[in-house]
Amino acid sequence: MGPEGNGNTNAVGETDVLEPRVPDGNVLDVLGLRKTYESEGVPVRALRGVDFVMEPGEFVAVMGPSGCGKSTLLNLVAGLDTPTDGEISVAGESLVGKDENDLARMRRRHIGIVFQFFNLLEGMSVLENVTLPAIIAGMPRRQAETRARDLLDLLGLADKARNAPGVLSGGQRQRLAIARALANKPTLVLADEPTGALDSAGGLEVLELFRRLHAGGQAILMVTHDQKVADAAGRIVRMRDGRIDDGTEEDMSVTITESITSTTWEP
């Protein structure tokens, strides 16, 4: 067995299959993170100095108005884009300054990503969708397939293994996307509005699954617009205008609004 103890056991128990990578220190360290996009020559300051830490096993929901920088934050943590300034470390390993190959290697090792619109490989079977990430990460095919079957089993999709993703319901498609995200036992699962494209039943399925992962010690960073979804998390982080909103400015605006309302608008 390798130094990370990743070998599958024969007995398929939930803890064996879902067991996440748990680092000694923090799962995530974000310090002074800034991202400025250029849009037709105009700078768009999507992140304006974000500091944020996640400990092992934490389930954090990120909320905030459209355009406040939530997806930008997730993409930077995933190493899918590079920051303008600041530091990001996943499991103590810095992402900043790494080239594409090293970022891809880190992503395979540490990150599982779940998108709003699933991003499944439609030309492949359900099983292949979950097997592929582990094969790309260097796991032998037989072992990758065994792990994929175990994951599909636990996520209630075992009977769909040979189907194309197209036959699945929305909730099932997102569960498949989550199975794929778990293929390499990630340190951190990132999810950008994972219930955003689902009806309420599908949303509940996915939410229940996230709860189970969290109970199994999986660190999860999830963006959502839905307060009920956010309530499943252990901590809610609010963002506004490219920053973490610690409530101080909001308190002031609430006070001002209240005083205006009470003095001017009261009937």
Ligand X SMILES: Nc1ncnc2c1ncn2[C@@H]1O[C@H](COP(=O)(O)OP(=O)(O)OP(=O)(O)O)[C@@H](O)[C@H]1O
Distance CA(88)–CA(138), nearest Å, equals: 25
- Contact flags string 69-98 toward ligand X, x per CB under 6 A: xxxx--------------------------
Looking at 67-75, 116-124, 140-148, 150-158, which segment touches Mg ion (CB under 5 A)? Answer: 67-75
Q: Which residues 6+ apart lie within 8 Å of 237 measured at CB?
A: 52, 60, 61, 62, 63, 244
Angle between helices 170-181 and 141-154 (to 10 degrees): 140
Task: Look up tokens 């996943």; give the residue.
Answer: 90
> Judged by CB under 6 A, which of 13, 25, 43, 67 binds ligand X?
67
Rounded to whole angstroms, how far apart are CA atoms 176 and 155? Answer: 8
202 near ligand X, judged by CB under 6 A = no
| Helix intervals (H) in 39-111 | 70-77, 100-110
Work out what residue 248 binds among ligand X, Mg ion, none; the CB cut-off runs from 5 to 8 Å by kind.
none
Q: Least CB distance from residue 240 to Mg ion, whole Å? A: 14
Does the protein bind ligand X through residue 40 (CB under 6 A)? no
197 near ligand X (CB under 6 A): no
Helix or strand holding residue 250 (H, E): helix 248-260
Residue 224 binds to ligand X (criterion: CB under 6 A): no
Is the Cβ of residue 128 or residue 193 nearer to Mg ion in the bound state? 193
- The reply on whether position 71 binds Mg ion by CB under 5 A is yes
For ligand X, give the closer residue by CB, 71 or 195.
Answer: 71
